[in-house]
């Protein structure tokens, strides 16, 4: 079973190498084969966890349903930034600080990256459970502090968090 996962990881990595390198000469293909084989040998379990479980499948399904919601948030935030371009008096940049109720590193990573992907906000730093986020306007700050994105990320990774307001939120 481990050999099959290693082989599939090698095939996937080599395919990405060939597509992204754009070169099909013997030197580049040979380097692709060598690098893909080394990476697959040492880290195939990152791509294919051992053993695959129903929990992993559930997480992947929930992630697949989170992505369209995140895309909508990105579109909505883009429209808000366009609004701010035409009404610069509404631009009120600030740094907000808040504690997350997420516990897993994967959840915290997805949450921070989701904030940064949303136009008008940038995750500047994460220290333990505390996030420092730059928001371009009051709306961007309140959307970040609403807790909606955090709850959705918690749902992706099956983390139980209470639906109440976020503790220890404020401005810097």
Q: Report pLDDT digits (tens) over 34-92.
A: 999 999 888 877 776 665 566 777 888 898 999 999 999 999 999 999 999 999 999 99
Q: Scan for tokens 């695959």, then name that residue.
A: 52
* pLDDT score at 137: 96
Same structural domain, 88 and 29: no
Q: How many other β-carbons are positioned within 10 Å of the β-carbon of residue 131?
A: 24
Q: Check whether residue 24 and residue 88 sit in a common domain.
A: no
**Residue 135's domain is classified under what CATH number?**
3.30.70
Cβ-proximal residues to 157 (8 Å cutoff; 6+ apart), any chain: 59, 62, 102, 104, 106, 107, 110
Same domain, yes or no, for 39 and 60?
no
| pTM greater than the 0.75 cutoff | no
pLDDT at 100 over 90: yes
Q: What is the pLDDT of residue 92?
A: 96
96 and 157 together in one domain: yes
Query: For the chain, what is the domain count?
Result: 2
In the predicted model, is pLDDT for residue 121 greater than 90? Answer: yes
Q: Determine the pLDDT at residue 108.
A: 93
From 47, 62, 77, give the residue that closes a domain: 47
Domain membership of residue 137 as a residue range: 54-171
Read off the pLDDT band of 21 (50, 70, 90). Answer: confident
Is it the case that residue 164 has pLDDT exceeding 60?
no
- Shared domain for 94 and 30, answered yes or no, is no
> For every residue of the chain, which 3-state class applies, written as one string?
CHHHHHHHHHHHHHHHHHHHHCCCCHHHHHHHHHHHHHHHHHHHHHHCCCCCCHHHHHHHHHHHHHHHHHHHHHHHHHHHHHHHHHCHHHCCCEEEEEECCCCCHHHHHHHHHHHHHCCCEEEEEEECCEEEEEECCHHHHHHHHCCHHHHHHHHHCCCCCCCCCCCCCEEC
What is the structure's pLDDT at 146? Answer: 93
Mean pLDDT, rounded, for 138-162: 92
pLDDT of 172 over the 80 cut: no
Q: What is the mean pLDDT of the chain?
A: 88
């Amino acid at each position: 079973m481990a050999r099959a996962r290693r082989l599939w990881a090698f095939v996937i990595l080599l395919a990405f190498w060939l597509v992204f390198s754009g070169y099909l000469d013997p030197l580049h293909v040979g380097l692709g084969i060598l690098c893909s084989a080394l990476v697959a040998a040492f880290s195939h379990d990152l791509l294919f966890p051992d053993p695959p479980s129903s929990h992993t499948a559930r997480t992947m399904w929930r992630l697949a349903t989170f992505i369209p919601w995140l895309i909508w948030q990105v579109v909505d935030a883009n429209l808000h930034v366009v609004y701010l371009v035409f009404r610069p008096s509404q631009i009120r940049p600030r740094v907000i600080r808040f504690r997350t109720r997420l516990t897993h590193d994967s959840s915290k990573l997805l949450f921070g990256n989701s904030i940064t992907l949303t136009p008008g906000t940038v995750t500047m730093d994460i220290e333990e459970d505390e996030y420092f986020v730059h928001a371009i306007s009051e709306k961007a700050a309140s959307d970040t502090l609403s807790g909606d994105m955090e709850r959705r990320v918690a749902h992706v990774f099956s983390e139980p968090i209470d639906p109440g307001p976020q503790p220890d939120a404020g401005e810097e």
